[in-house]
């Protein structure tokens, strides 16, 4: 019985890693679709989002079954509840990648943002991809040093997000309104993607240490 339980817990963790891998693929493809105006890639991201959503539903069902059948306590309970919370953040990260891909598809064959600001978006995109890959590792091996790295990367994303607004609001910006709207939304999607990564990283630290600092965010578990 105990062995079965531990195996079920491992399966939940494996599933989280699988979903994180799907999300990492999605953001990688979405960023490339966005940067290069690749509509085929954009469509593959949009299609993959259903797969992510289905995997999240499946994981949630499994986690709830474990709660019902095994009545875990202490650390085991923390793992199951955290899995439910982490899957929810991963699902949102998938949505952000999808939104980015939708912008790329909608604007095709044009690029979404103009040349001057493209390097900023490229950098934000790379940071998001890097964070998604670190998240896969963090979920796989629980190395909490990665959690701190993810937070550091998020600071960079936030700074770039602000710089997008500075550029858009500067006197030199002479773009169509549509471009302003799209740049605003794209930047917000990239920034929110990073926020969710941090939120998961915090939950993993909590899982590893049992400690959290309520000042740094509302829901830590």
Q: Which residues bind a copy of itself (CB under 8 A)?
A: 52-54, 56-57, 60, 64, 67-68, 71, 73-74, 77-78, 81, 84-85, 87-88, 91, 165, 168-169, 173, 177-178, 180-181, 184-185, 188, 214, 218-221
Min separation Cβ 179 and a copy of itself, Å: 10
Start-to-end C-alpha separation, the chain: 27
Min separation Cβ 27 and a copy of itself, Å: 17
Q: Which is nearer to a copy of itself, 88 or 163 (CB)?
A: 88
Q: Which is nearer to a copy of itself, 45 or 146 (CB)?
A: 45
Tell me: cis bond preceding 183? Omega within 30 of 0 counts.
no
Instruction: Give the contacts of 157 (CB within 8 A, at least 6 positions apart).
Output: 124, 127, 128, 131, 190, 191, 194
Q: Which is nearer to a copy of itself, 78 or 111 (CB)?
A: 78
Q: Which is nearer to a copy of itself, 80 or 146 (CB)?
A: 80
Q: Over the range 27-39, which residues count as b (16 or more CB within 10 Å of their CB) and which as e? A: bbbbbbbbbebbb
């Amino acid at each position: 019985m105990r062995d079965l339980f531990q195996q079920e817990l491992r399966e939940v963790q494996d599933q989280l890693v699988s979903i994180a891998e799907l999300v990492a693929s999605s953001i990688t493809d979405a960023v490339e679709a966005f940067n290069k105006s690749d509509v085929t890639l954009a469509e593959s991201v949009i299609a993959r989002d259903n797969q992510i959503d289905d995997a999240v539903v499946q994981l949630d069902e499994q986690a709830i079954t474990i709660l019902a059948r095994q009545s875990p306590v202490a650390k085991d309970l923390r793992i199951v509840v955290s899995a439910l919370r982490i899957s929810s953040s991963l699902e949102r990260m998938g949505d952000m990648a999808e939104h980015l891909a939708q912008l790329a598809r909608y604007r095709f064959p044009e690029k979404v943002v103009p040349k001057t600001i493209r390097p900023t978006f490229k950098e934000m995109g790379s940071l998001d991809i890097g964070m998604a890959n670190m998240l896969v590792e963090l979920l796989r091996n629980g190395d909490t040093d990665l959690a701190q790295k993810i937070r550091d990367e998020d600071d960079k994303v936030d700074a770039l997000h602000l710089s997008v607004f500075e550029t858009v609001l500067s006197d030199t910006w002479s773009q169509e309104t549509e471009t302003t709207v799209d740049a605003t939304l794209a930047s917000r999607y990239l920034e929110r993607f990073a926020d969710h990564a941090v939120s998961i990283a915090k939950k993993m630290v909590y899982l590893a240490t049992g400690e959290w600092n309520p000042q740094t965010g509302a829901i830590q578990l």
